[in-house]
Amino acid sequence: NNYLEYIDWGDSTFDNGPIPPNGMAMHVYSGSGTYVISYLAIELDDDGFICFEKIVNDTITIMCNDCPCSMDDIHDLSVAVNKGFATVSSSLNCQACFAPIGLTDCETVQWYLGDLTNPLPGSSIGNQMYCYDFVNSGSYTLIMVVTRYKPDGSICEVFTNEREINVSCSIVPACENPIIPNPGFNEGAIAGGLDPGGIGNSNGWTALSGVPVVTEGTIGSLDGWTIELANESALTTVDPTKFTKEEGTISFDFGIKEKGIKSPIIINIICDDFEWGESPESSQPSSYNIATIDVEQLELDVWYNLQVPYNLGLWDSLDSCNLDMNSVVARPVVYSGYGVNPTARRNFIEIDQLCVEDESVAIKNISNINSINIYPNPTSNDLTVRFDNSNGLKGKIQIIDLLGKIVKTATIENGNPDYQISLESQPNGIYLVKVIDYDDMYNWSKKFVKQ
């Protein structure tokens, strides 16, 4: 018969009760400091009447992680804020959630609707998701105000990010102008795993890791076909795409079938040099982290639409990924969970309508396959790739094994018609030779045998 009527956290914020016995009240402070917590404790008799009440004051000292505030740190914070925020909307109501992309726990976020005179209730910390119930569908201006605090609790710097968001109180329509083919996964769809030994198929999509599973008949899917991701399964495209080093958006529908431990949805852009053993949640020359979205507070078995802005101009990519100063040739990757205890349970999610909106141009097949020849086939040591006309050609030649691993790469030089690739160190078997022309965004491939 005991409870707390209210809690004053000592930083001008309050929690109204009642808070029951053994209940756990939690609060996040904006920075280090000494705070006086006040709460009203009440005891009731057997008839439910108050027989004792007392205001209790406790003094606590919070020592937060050091949040640096040098000029370099302020510049890095400005870059992080400019990455913006992802938007997650539900198919059941007018609720929309917002998740900053590049922040840390050193920052507090206040959200405003329309202008800075209309703050939304509450706040969030770092990349924590914030949700708000809108009344109607429509276009809204959302402003993210980010404040970094010094260890003593004083303000280091404040930055803002503003953009238009679209809130839909119903199912979001299918991708209208897909840059990457087959966003709905229904073209050439065969139910089953997309791993090398699996029977599943969805034209243009493949497994980077684990076993993404093509699934038919999922309720809520716009075309009836989805792809399930569990146990660190990573989905990517078969062929790379030309992305401009400018702003764009990646969006897709997703539903959470089972919740795991510390397994956010992660979206990356990768070069051909990327190896799965690298840490995919951090940006690096072979992999750029678009967003890591914590979906813990979202519900099971509900379709959500995720929209994530990106700017690849911030990516210091590998030379093999760079096409020129203004564009890169890379592939998107989507997966759920990485880097926690291997025995921990990950989120089990399914995705649909994976759409990329960018000034990019998807790579298309070369129409004149007679313009490229390979010999000898079969071969025992060397393979020659010959172009009838390589003038103006800019790209590369790849040798790929049956597991999808790139084992040899050669750069195409303007005017050179013949390329000889040594296969002496490779085991006997079936391989794929792929030619990518960056300028016209063509690719050509053919199988050959090494014996």
Q: What is the DSSP string of 137-151?
A: -EEEEEEEEEEEE-T
Q: What is the mean pLDDT of residues 123-151?
A: 89
Q: Which of 142-151, 218-227, 341-350 is the least confident region?
A: 341-350
The share of the chain scoring above pLDDT 70, in percent, equals: 83
CA 51 to chain centre: 55
User: In terms of Cα–Cα distance, which of 298, 280, 281, 314 is closest to 81?
Assistant: 314
Predicted confidence (pLDDT) at residue 135 exceeds the cutoff of 60: yes
Predicted confidence (pLDDT) at residue 28 exceeds the cutoff of 80: no
Predicted confidence (pLDDT) at residue 371 exceeds the cutoff of 90: no
Mean pLDDT for the chain overall:
81
Termini Cα distance of the chain: 81
pLDDT at 337 (0 to 100): 67
pLDDT at 143 (0 to 100): 94
HSE, CB side, 13 Å, CA atoms: give it for residue 26: 2
pLDDT at 218 (0 to 100): 82
Q: Are 369 and 387 in contact (CB under 8 A)?
A: no
pLDDT in tens, 194-228: 988 889 999 999 998 889 999 998 887 777 899 99
Predicted TM-score (pTM) of this structure: 0.64
Question: Can you tell me whether residue 77 is helix, strand or coil?
Answer: helix
pLDDT at 369 (0 to 100): 44
What is each CA distance from 229 to 267, 271, 306, in whole angstroms? 13, 21, 16
pLDDT at 65 (0 to 100): 63
Rg over CA atoms, the chain? 27
* Dihedral-angle region of residue 303 (phi above 0 means left; psi in -120 to 50 means alpha; beta otherwise): beta
418 exposed, middle or buried (CB, 10 Å; 0-12, 13-18, 19+)? exposed
The dotted CATH code for 367-450 is 2.60.40.1930
Q: Are 306 and 254 in contact (CB under 8 A)?
A: yes
Q: What is the mean pLDDT of residues 388-403?
A: 72
pLDDT in tens, 158-169: 999 998 888 877
> 310 - beta bridge partners?
248
User: In terms of Cα–Cα distance, which of 161, 132, 158 is closest to 144?
Assistant: 161
pLDDT band at 366 (very low <50, low <70, confident <90, very high): very low
Q: What is the mean pLDDT of residues 23-47?
A: 81
445 exposed, middle or buried (CB, 10 Å; 0-12, 13-18, 19+)? middle
CB within 8 A of 239, min separation 6: which ones? Answer: 204, 331, 362, 363, 443
The dotted CATH code for 192-362 is 2.60.120.260
What's the token pair of residue 204?
């243009």
pLDDT band at 279 (very low <50, low <70, confident <90, very high): low
What's the token pair of residue 230?
């569990």
**DSSP structural state of residue 71:** H
pLDDT band at 77 (very low <50, low <70, confident <90, very high): very high
Q: Are 257 and 228 in contact (CB under 8 A)?
A: yes
pLDDT at 199 (0 to 100): 92
pLDDT at 98 (0 to 100): 93
Q: Which of 34-43, 295-304, 354-363 is the least confident region?
A: 354-363
The Cβ of residue 26 has, within 10 Å, a number of other Cβ atoms equal to 5
What single-letter amino acid sits at 67? C
What single-letter amino acid sits at 26? M
Predicted confidence (pLDDT) at residue 439 exceeds the cutoff of 60: no
Q: Phi and psi at residue 203, in whole multiples of 5°?
A: -50, 125
The dotted CATH code for 71-167 is 2.60.40.10
pLDDT at 262 (0 to 100): 58
pLDDT band at 148 (very low <50, low <70, confident <90, very high): very high
pLDDT at 235 (0 to 100): 93
